[in-house]
Amino acid sequence: MQQRILIVEDDPNVALVLEDALSAEGYTTEHASDGRHAVESALARAFDLTLLDVGLPDKDGFAVCDELRRQGVQMPILLLTARTAPDDKVRGLRMGADDYVTKPFHVPELLARIQALLRRTQHTQAAILIEYRFGDVFVDFYRGRATKAGRPVELTTKELVLLRYLIARRGLVVSREELLTEVWGYHSTNTRTVDVHIATLRQKLEDHPHAPLHVLTVRGGGYQFQHAPM
Ligand code: CA
């Protein structure tokens, strides 16, 4: 699967350089030019990594980083900091960034840092999703607990693993066959099990299980997790 990188950069020239360099390496990119759109994109769609400029017009990169971590977003974040502000590094790492590169950056070095971060987190994206909040639902995957509107909801282990898999790939369509393989661990064309578990998740977590806002059916495709509109 192609790896997806979110580029958050307000300078259109720098953004273009980054997009070109990353697509030349085979990554799929999306660009956000301010903090608000960066948070929206990162919550709406799953990315493998975010390249986050610190100096942004509305909320800065630190605030974006902090907000994403608070919302339970676990993907690696690589900060682009100004060389003139050495404190940025410490502050960024405190806000949950994984690494930083100073501007003006050297493209090959940046690519090497990205590859190193992706290697470190590959295959563990779903495993490191510790908690997640959407709508009035809060899920603590670590303790296996969930609440809806502050009231406890009982989720089985299978339901938790299924939900975590969908959330880790939010915004992407996941086929029933993929869910069977990844969540249940077997290949089968009998995907009824998946449908039954999805229906139960909706009963427990959606306000209107027959008109779901988060666990969506994609006709002819499978399922897709969608974060609530902010
Ligand atoms: Ca900037």
Q: How far is the CA of 68 from the centre of ligand 1 (A)?
A: 19
Say what the pLDDT of residue 122 is: 65
When pLDDT is cut at 50, 70 and 90, the band that residue 131 belongs to is confident
pLDDT tens digits for range 14-26: 999 999 999 999 9
Q: How far is the CA of 127 from the centre of ligand 1 (A)?
A: 32
Q: How far is the CA of 86 from the centre of ligand 1 (A)?
A: 16
pLDDT of residue 213 exceeding 70, the answer is: yes
Q: How far is the CA of 73 from the centre of ligand 1 (A)?
A: 22
pLDDT of residue 174 exceeding 80, the answer is: yes
pLDDT tens digits for range 20-78: 999 999 999 999 999 999 998 888 777 889 999 999 998 999 999 999 888 778 789 99
Say what the pLDDT of residue 181 is: 87
Q: How far is the CA of 78 from the centre of ligand 1 (A)?
A: 14
The pLDDT > 70 percentage for the chain reads 94
Mean pLDDT of 220-230: 82
Structural domains in the chain, sorted by start: 4-121 (3.40.50.2300), 131-225 (1.10.10.10)
Alpha-carbon span 43 to 38, nearest angstrom: 9
Q: How far is the CA of 15 from the centre of ligand 1 (A)?
A: 10
